[in-house]
Structure 1
Amino acid sequence: MTTMVAVVHEGETGLTGVRAAEVPAPEPGAGEVVVAVRAAGLNHRDLFLVGAREPGDARVVLGSDGAGVVVAAGPGAAVAPGTEVVINPSLDWEEPDEVPDVPAILGVPTDGTFAEYVVVPARNVAPKPAHLDWAEAAALPLAALTAYRALFTRGGLRPGAHVLLPGIGSGVATFALAMAKAVGATVTVTSRSAEKCRQARELGADHAIGSAEDWTSAVSEPVDLVVDSVGSATFGKCVSVLRPGGRLVSLGATTGPDVQLSLRDMFFRQISLLGTSMGSARGFERMLALVAEHRIRPVVHRTFPLPDGPRALAELARGDQFGKLVLTVD
């Protein structure tokens, strides 16, 4: 049986259970393709999953994001070997309004992209945007799809709107910054880090403020749309700066999920609170089209060779990066 190098989790909960290992290479089934991975993007989802797995759980290959070359196709798979592709990690979700109970995502419990080869449904690969290198393409899928749905499908973003992005520096927030600016929005970002504020301004942010500042005085004009993944630490401030009729789209809770909300504040000011997570196959197509039209380039903070996956995940856990961390495969 052919083997390959992969970054797997087994044996211990958390990062101590992550290691590079030789595992069996996958074979395609009906409607599936095997992709020779050129690069794989890291996400905080990877950290959440290894932290939730038990010592007795079966070994699994980590990773949701990836880009590479199709090298084998199973019966009924209409993608030719040799095609350069980016992988859509959102499984079995075709249309934006057909929201599943819980979005299924490639990688845990299925084997994922932190490997030399990965098998995925043929409908979950799309041509790689020509202007991107492999690391940039691999940085796209999960974070860019999440950002696109938050901004456009749920947030209804229009040119000229004012968007607030708390906690700039994450993959989703940096994609949201690039996409919002591409369609002519004004963007304000926040961060505890002065350096991340500076980097955001270099990428086109119109305003950058410190997380500890008084947002109601620091934000220059009322906000039409907030896209927030921070959670309880920023929720009250996010609501306070929204204009009447504004929207807050929540897609994460890194500082905790429990918040206090005045219903009077919400209904008198007619604020919309919206949740989102991942996105559909149709959304993935539209996201790639936006990226190609505006030649958006993902911010890649650093790359690591595939066997250094455990070290890359440890760096992700420290949270100092601005943009995406990516594994590369020779």
Structure 2
Amino acid sequence: MRAFVIEQGELKITDMPEPTAQKGEVVVALKAAGINHRDLNLLKRHGNKPEPLIIGSDGAGIVESVGEGVTNVSVGDEVIINPALRWFANSDAPPPEFDILGMPDHGTFAEKIALSAEQVEKKLPHLTWEEAGGLALPAMTGYRALFTKGQVKKGDTLFIPGAGSGVATFLIQFAKNIGARVIVTSRSEDKLAHAKELGADLAIATDSDWVKKLENETVDLAIDSVGAATFNRTLDIVKKGGRIVTFGATTDDVVDFNLRKFFYGQYQLFGSTMGSRDELRELLNHMEQYEMHPVVGKVFELEEAQEAFDYLKGAKQFGKVILRINQ
């Protein structure tokens, strides 16, 4: 089968052996897979190991075969992949055995994948393959940050620095679905316009004066995945006693901030990452209730995976970058 792998320090398309379903496993013939920023960093982590590794965390497809003891899905079922390995019950933090699909396990940038049957969920019928294939990782990340950690509620104002990522597009939709007000930033006028079309109430330039622009707003919750470049600016516009959730650091991951200002302001800071199977099932119910569609930014064929990586590195996308497979 064709797959996009890391082998001896290089990314390439190659042929890999077809997987088989062992006890408790399923083989999924993939239709689409989503590229995440995590995938861009795996080349350095994998190093020059000679064994090829299929990367990729998100995907959706059709169950081709099932191993002994599998009862939750059958051959022919349409499913999405849950990339949060071995994290089933919602908890304050992931369990020690938690890992993310795509390293060290073979991932989704291939024609087929074998994995535990506990890691698949039924695909929502109203979604296209491209929408379903890039859903789980960013949707779980956004859902946990917004609801489990951020405790957003109707009438709250949510602030999101950086409007174009897959997670940001889910945050905008989730928040608007339950009646929150949403403010976003971007350096791109095009992304600001797209965010408004998606439902954002206010979209401002990243290089503008946020304090001045938002002087008439009360920001209850901010969800910041940018890191050092925006953390202190975000803190400046969150209300006293407000909440900040961080789940990433696309800029520097070391942040200096005024501790006295922080504790006098009674701010609340939460770390978050990915999500549990419980949260994935909750968000799928949410998406079904609101007939919600993920935002697909651009679609590439599997054989164009390197081009898709370069596109994501350039931060050109609004929404998910998807690889189309077996279609």
TM-score of the aligned structures, taking structure 2 as reference length = 0.96
Do structure 1's residue 63 and structure 2's residue 56 form an aligned pair? yes
Displacement after TM superposition at 1:296 (Å):
1.3
Matched, 1:246 2:242: yes
Partner of 1:228: 224
Partner SS for 2:304: helix
Instruction: Answer whether contact 1:67 1:85 (CA < 8 A) is retained.
Output: yes
Q: Distance in 2 between matches of 1:48 and 1:228?
A: 20
Contact 2:86-2:97 within 8 A present in 1 as well: no
SS across alignment from 1:303: strand
Matching residue's letter, 1:41: G
1:6 equivalenced with 2:3 (yes/no):
yes
Identity, % of aligned positions: 44
Q: What's 2:252 paired with?
A: 256
Matched, 1:303 2:299: yes
- Aligned mates of 2:319, 2:69 — CA distance in 1: 37
Match of 1:203 in 2: 198
- Deviation, structure 1 residue 103: 3.9
State the AA in 1 paired with 2:226. V
The C-alpha deviation readout for 1:246-277, integer Å capped at 9, x for no partner, is: 11000111111111222222222211110011
Q: Where in structure 1 do 4 or more consecutive aligned residues deviate above 4 Å? A: none
Aligned equivalent of 1:92: 86
Aligned-partner Cα distance in 1 for 2:59–2:110: 9
Once the two structures are superposed, the pairs formed by residues 1-330 of structure 1 within 5 Å of their partners are 4-12=1-9, 17-78=10-71, 79-97=73-91, 99-101=94-96, 103-219=98-214, 220-329=216-325, 330=327
* Runs of at least 5 residues in structure 2 that lack an aligned partner in the other structure: none
Within 2, Cα distance between the matches of 1:133 and 1:45? 24
Aligned mates of 1:166, 1:288 — CA distance in 2:
25
Unaligned runs of 5+ residues in structure 1 are none
| TM-score, normalised with respect to structure 1 | 0.95
Deviations 1:212-261 (A, max 9, x none): 11111112412111111100000001111111221100011111111122
CA distance in 2, matches of 1:57, 1:274: 39
Corresponding residue pairs, total:
323
Counterpart amino acid of residue 255 in structure 2:
V
Moved more, 96-105 or 211-220: 96-105
| C-alpha distance in 1 between matches for 2:96 and 2:242 | 27
Aligned-partner Cα distance in 1 for 2:264–2:125: 48
